Amino acid sequence: MEKGSNLILNAHQISQRINRIAYQIYEDNFNEKEIIIIGIRSNGYVLAQKIAESLGKICKIKITLAELIIDKTNHMKEEASISIDTADVKGKSVVLIDDVLNSGKTLIYSMKTLLDIDIKKLRTALMVDRDHKRYPVNANFVGMTLSTTMQEHVTVEFGKQARVYLS
């Protein structure tokens, strides 16, 4: 953690929020045969893995995990893609996951890729929603909503010392 940073969530609190999000996803999809969990490359995918693992412990629904590859700094550079065959996603309930929602740009470009596939339902899940949206996108499942200034930076770290902090 950087000097001058404020701890927002520790590892235990992150785990609790991941479990809560998993239960919310299950409640929203209890009658589905399969849920496709798609994490946006990097931390979104790590969070998706943790949510998928938690879902596997609480329900018998088939969970398919995939990664969405997108250039977060230049969304127009190349088309985003997913790590599984689009035919495996067609007609299914999909949950798109990222770690932090800042402006909403990455999430909306990622959603565009999924909307080109004929999916049954699309939901979004985030660890932190900063509520600085410039795009018309909302999170369905959120670990935490955090009011920040545009100059502040929210970082989510997974690993031995999982934490969310503000700098």
How is 102-116 classified by DSSP, letter by letter? SSSHHHHHHHHHHHT
The residue-averaged pLDDT of 64-70 equals: 96
| Entry field: residues in the chain | 167
* Structural tokens at position 166: 């503000």
- Residue 134: pLDDT over 70: yes
> What is the per-residue pLDDT for 75?
59
Burial grade of 143 (CB within 10 A; 0-12, 13-18, 19 or more): buried
- Residue 3: pLDDT over 70: no
| Overall CATH class of domain 13-146 | alpha beta
The residue-averaged pLDDT of 64-86 equals: 85
Could you say which DSSP state residue 42 is in?
Answer: T
> What is the per-residue pLDDT for 5?
82
pLDDT digits (tens, 9 = 90+) for 104-123: 889 999 998 898 899 999 99
The model carries a pTM of 0.92
Least confident interval from 24-28, 58-62, 64-68, 145-149? 145-149
> What is the per-residue pLDDT for 73?
73
